[in-house]
Amino acid sequence: MGAAISIDCITHHYPGQEQPTLRDIRVNVSPGETVALIGQSGCGKSTLLHMLAGLLLPSEGCVRINGHQVIKPSPRWNMMFQKPSLYPWMTVRKNASLGLIFQGRKKAMQGRIDELLETVGLTDKAEVNVQSLSGGQQQRVALARSLATDPELLLLDEPFSALDAFTRVALQDEVTRLARARGISVVFVTHDIEEAVAMADRVLVMGSNPGTITAELCVDIDHPRDRNSQAFVDLKAELMGHFGATRTPPADPQQTDESRITTPEAAAQSPTAKAVAGESRKRARAA
Ligand SMILES: Nc1ncnc2c1ncn2[C@@H]1O[C@H](COP(=O)(O)OP(=O)(O)OP(=O)(O)O)[C@@H](O)[C@H]1O
Ligand SMILES: [Mg+2]
């Protein structure tokens, strides 16, 4: 059963900062739901994810998971980062087993590791050293390790951004399939609009200075999702419009294509304007 998350009015100041990094964030995530967080670099996405993981306490407000305030990390929720952070001197099997080793459950769960390595396509690599694997294969080991402890919640911070396009798409689909099959709740941070639409049930757009939720979009498309379908393409455009609206203007307005748009007709043709002017979905709401 996936975790129910409630982010209750979080505001956060890092020491020495005038502006809060996050202001008045309120979000609920239902058990088994997948939520994407997108926003400009520095808007506070990782800060919020670290709070969900219990790695950082907010200055005001709190995170509750299944009704309990989060004050420290727990094996019931696992975080995956952009880099897989594996132990380079260990085999694939040992790295995938680490969570279980820390919990003292490794012996009882050996079959589970075999099953997970098969799920992520690494059965034939089980006994090799992780250093001999590609980046995508290493990220699969990290995924197997994250799933081995049967988490209720997966927290992913740009987990696929360092991978090539093919591996990235394969892992996006794989994580979505596994999380749905196991009913795991997922909150992930991404800069990739396609990744957000491919994986999420709901996308939260964050604005910066201070970080707030500026828009929310439901992705009501059946799985497995066809990335070429009209519904998918339309949602990507709509999300791009919301995302574009959060971007701080560049110092030199000559630097962007959109800033060179001078007539209302030309402006109406811009991708952002088209997306914003596109069908106004009931389920998208400005926060
Ligand atoms: N430990 C810290 N101490 C002080 N300021 C911090 C600390 N960690 C992050 N910040 C600041 O808080 C803001 C938000 O950082 P955060 O890493 O959450 O952004 P982000 O949205 O994840 O960015 P990116 O997309 O680049 O990863 C930034 O201005 C950053 O400089
Ligand atoms: Mg970040």
Q: Quick: pLDDT tens for 184-214.
A: 999 999 999 999 999 999 999 999 999 999 9
- In the three-class reduction of DSSP (H, G, I as helix; E, B as strand; rest coil), residue 84 is classed as coil
Residue 12 CB–ligand 1 contact under 6 Å = no
Tokens of 262: 């001078």
What residues contact residue 280 under an 8 Å CB cut-off, 6+ apart? none
* For residues 141-154, average pLDDT: 92
Q: Give 114's contacts (C-beta < 8 A, 6+ positions apart).
A: 123, 126
The residue contributing the CA closest to ligand 1 atom 8 is 47
Q: Atom 26, ligand 1: which residue's CA is nearest?
A: 41
Q: Which residues pair with 179 in a beta bridge?
A: none
Most confident of 164-178, 214-228, 232-246: 214-228
List pLDDT tens digits, range 9-66.
Answer: 999 999 988 899 999 999 999 999 999 999 999 999 999 999 999 999 999 999 999 9
Give the strand pairing for 34-39 and 202-207.
parallel
Structure tokens at 267: 């402006």
Measure the CA–CA gap between 225 and 61, rounded to whole angstroms.
36
* Sign of the C-alpha dihedral computed for residues 75, 164, 161 and 237 taken in this order: negative
Ligand closest to CA 56? 1
CA 183 to ligand 2 center in whole angstroms: 26
Cβ of 41 less than 6 Å from ligand 1: yes
Q: Per mean pLDDT, which of 101-115, 162-176, 246-260 is the most reliable?
A: 162-176
User: Angle formed by the axes of helices 135-148 and 92-102, to 10°?
Assistant: 30
Determine which residue's CA is closest to atom 29 belonging to ligand 1. 42
Q: From the CB of 97, is ligand 1 less than 6 Å away?
A: no
For a substitution probing ligand 1, which of 17, 40, 47 has the most ligand atoms within 8 Å of its CB? 47
Question: Quick one: the chain helix, strand, coil %, rounded to 5?
Answer: 40, 20, 40
**Ligand 1 atom 10: the closest Cα is on which residue?**
14
Contacts of 124 (CB under 8 A, 6+ apart): none
Report how far ligand 2's centroid is from the alpha carbon of 146 (Å).
19
Residue 257 has pLDDT above 60, yes or no: no
CA separation for the pair 269, 10 (Å, rounded)? 38
